[in-house]
Structure 1
């Protein structure tokens, strides 16, 4: 195994001889068998587990309470389907009660329990991202998954103990999940070559959508057959096992990986040699506040996650209440958009890296193009969705297209912060999560307000508002977005160089 000094010499030799392209070509032939792609698939598994633990309560809570029967529809044309649906729902609830306890939670209490996961998440991203950037992301990510998985196993016991303990447990669990979702971006600063950055992060991010797909697909079935507590026992136990098995394989830096080949290590180091990716101990806060490209990313992040949290929280409710589908079938239908979105995230990342590596489009053009498609397509679909609810197939097709379009933003504005300031990636990822969780705290509440005010036109107002917010965020990003390394992201390097010269 080569030492760090050997690697540095090799990097210098490659840079001086102009043979970096040869190293890149040799490493590129490894494809998905490389260790950096292995890291991507491990983090994909981590994200998969985190999102199953995020959404398991959403699919289980109809079985946990005894007053979840949906309201009847006012239209006369739906009277017969509503009666059939109500009968099936009552039979389903009887099955639930036979295998697991139920609780007298009001709709207001249910809303607090579901949203409590974001209370800690709202406060945690910035400090978690900053700590991960300084001390290394391996332990932050591993500890976050383990804590979240253990707490998932204890959710049934907390529910029996009382609502207060359940809410406290969910708050702590939200903080642990932020440790995984935020800390992993510190890993990509050291592991992802610029030409593969979108591809690797897209592979990892696809685990989130895949996790949503699986929990929606099997959650309702588990609740009905063996009881809702097993939704938490099974996915929490899998998380604990995978954390213990995969933790030894994760390394914050390729230089410290004991099994990576010298060729791949050299390729990664050479690819990142032109970037200042080392985390700083201080932050240029004033410069960040004045940076319009950073604000463009943050605004876009907020607007895109406004729709994301609505889809994640209300797709099963929309399908079951508007389309008059029972809980089991609603879970199956709700799982279709996430799985298509997961595939499109990977394909979008591959396409973006192809366009960049072949120099077909500039980096900023790729970011804005994918963001524009990822915003405009879902926005148009949302505006037409209320008028096709009489057709189940068209509605599900529209929801699938909406998820597929939104996933393209992962190769656009959602990854843009690694372009403008890679050295502060963990902190910026945490800052972006604050904006995301803010959107997640507001948008579901807004949906509930619209639906309670007008049951017939509430969904239409929800979709129109979401489309308007998305388009406004896109316009701001297209005007002020940039993919150039910002001056404030280089500032500390210049200060350190000047200080070293003065000391000499």
Structure 2
């Protein structure tokens, strides 16, 4: 019996060892990619639910009745005036209160960008992101209870959630310079298009759950998913490849030889003055401001447009608010693969590639945005352009968004934190402009003005990027103890 037991145990041990070897063959930076992708998905599930859920929380205002619409485009594409589309809201919150709830998240989110870059540089991305997600999860779960007491509590929760989520984006960027070889970065940055998947899931889920169970369950589900994700992050995330216990020596050497000049020992020596006064960094910040003006206008007030101008019910609203985001992930992969091929085969210099994809991401949407207001009630064409306005900007992931890694591989997190201040400021400015224009009534003419402004801002800021952008590693980023020859070798690798 003992002999037989020993025989049967051997295959199990062998099978176990084979599974271990199979796991070792999976590159750990691929695991990091899926961790980053899932982080963005969960982050934007939580963030994207408020605009459409708020429409179901709040009663329609008197001016949102049938007399308040100049044009309501029915789903059949017929120009007519329609009775209002009621989402069943019960809370009596004014348009101003709704604006504060939508934007209060971004008040602290913007301020947290520099904080996120600095704290991740000092304490590591794993800790900063983990706690950020956990706090944001709790805030989401508490919103239904707070809304039954007073809207001020909802605003406070949104502010806290903005702070918690705000530290995660620049922190995740800080991982890239440590983990990802130069020629894989455009592809790796597509992990941040998890925002598209998260937006799709969040808004489609919100429309479905609201129509069947009520809006409060939207926040419970989003917060619960985020709590579960925190456990996954805790067990699988590591700040550098050198700290990973399961990385192969071959992969570690490959990363170290191809990631450029990275020195993560100077945590307390962030060159803030150099970052803030860098013209190429400002070029990225300005063009990001223009791109996000349009994106955030659609993201925060798009659901209102689909309700009041197109006349969609809550489920259709969730579908069309989130559907374009699914294509965004695929388009970002396409743009990034083209970018990497152009660079790998020397068809185009690094800076020309960055400018090309930045131009695609802003000039085309800028023109489409200006044309958008003149489509009247041609619903099929409106919905096509609606999708393109969200899909084409993903080219920026191979343009200005990855450009910060070219400029400062050692201080990517802090630099991205500075850029994020400008990137997210349209969450307050653009939405304030939109709220002011549609304060009394949401009509097609007023939305035309909103989209015209967004298109002009997009084009002008992109032109500034064309003039001042650079792809050279900045002098203040170079490692102080490296000699000139080593620095030149690292620059040659990047360029």
User: TM class, shorter-chain normalised?
Assistant: 0.7 to 0.9
- Listed as ranges, the gaps of 5+ residues in structure 2 are 1-22, 484-495
Aligned residue among 478, 481, 484 for 1:490: 478
Deviation readout 1:203-222 (Å, 9 max, x if unpaired): x2111111111111121120
Q: Which moved more, 1:361-370 or 1:32-41?
A: 32-41
User: 466, 481, 484: which is aligned to 1:478?
Assistant: 466
Question: How do 1:267-286 residues align onto structure 2 when only pairs under 5 Å count?
Answer: 267-272=254-259, 274-276=261-263, 279-286=266-273
* Separation (CA, whole Å) in 1 of partners of 2:65 and 2:424: 29
Q: TM-score, normalised by structure 2?
A: 0.87
> Secondary structure of the residue that 1:423 maps to in structure 2?
coil
- CA–CA separation in structure 2 for the residues paired with 1:343 and 1:278: 37
CA RMSD of aligned residues (A): 2.5
Q: Is the 8 A contact 1:126 1:431 kept in 2?
A: yes
Tell me what 1:371 maps to.
358
What are the superposed Cα offsets for residues 247-271 of structure 1, whole Å, 9 maximum, x if unpaired?
A: 2100011111111222111110111
Q: Alignment partner for residue 54 of structure 2, among 61, 80, 92?
A: 61
The counterpart of 1:214, out of the listed 201, 211, 224, is 201
> Structure 1, unaligned stretches of length 5 or more?
1-29, 97-101, 496-504
Q: Tell me how far 1:391 sits from its aligned partner.
A: 1.5
Distance in 2, Cα, partners of 1:152 & 1:420: 36
TM-score, normalised to structure 1, is: 0.85
Q: Give the direction of change, closer, same or farther, for the CA distance of 1:279–1:471 in structure 2 (3 Å limit).
A: farther
* Alpha-carbon offset, residue 115 of structure 1: 1.0
Q: How many residues align?
A: 456
1:107-144 CA-to-partner distances (Å, cap 9, x unmatched) read 21111111110111121111221110122111111111
Q: Which whole-Å CA distance do the structure 2 matches of 1:237 and 1:362 have between them?
A: 46
Provide Cα deviations, 1:130-168, integer angstroms capped at 9, x if missing partner.
Answer: 110122111111111111112111111111232222211
Aligned counterpart, 1:396: 383
The within-5 A match list for 1:222-371 is 222-272=209-259, 274-276=261-263, 279-371=266-358
| 1:437 positional shift | 2.3
Q: Are residue 433 (structure 1) and residue 420 (structure 2) matched? A: yes
Alpha-carbon deviation of 1:311? 1.4
Name the structure 2 match of 1:10.
Answer: none
Distance in 1, matches of 2:368 and 2:315, equals 26
Contact 2:38 2:194 in 1 (8 A): yes
Match of 1:281, SS state, is coil
Q: Which has the higher helix share?
A: 1
Residue 156 (str. 1) matches residue 144 (str. 2): yes
1:84-103 residue pairs with structure 2 within 5 A? 85-86=83-84, 89-90=85-86, 92-93=87-88, 102-103=90-91
In the alignment, the residues of structure 1 paired with residue 276 and residue 415 of structure 2 have an alpha-carbon distance, to the nearest angstrom, of: 12
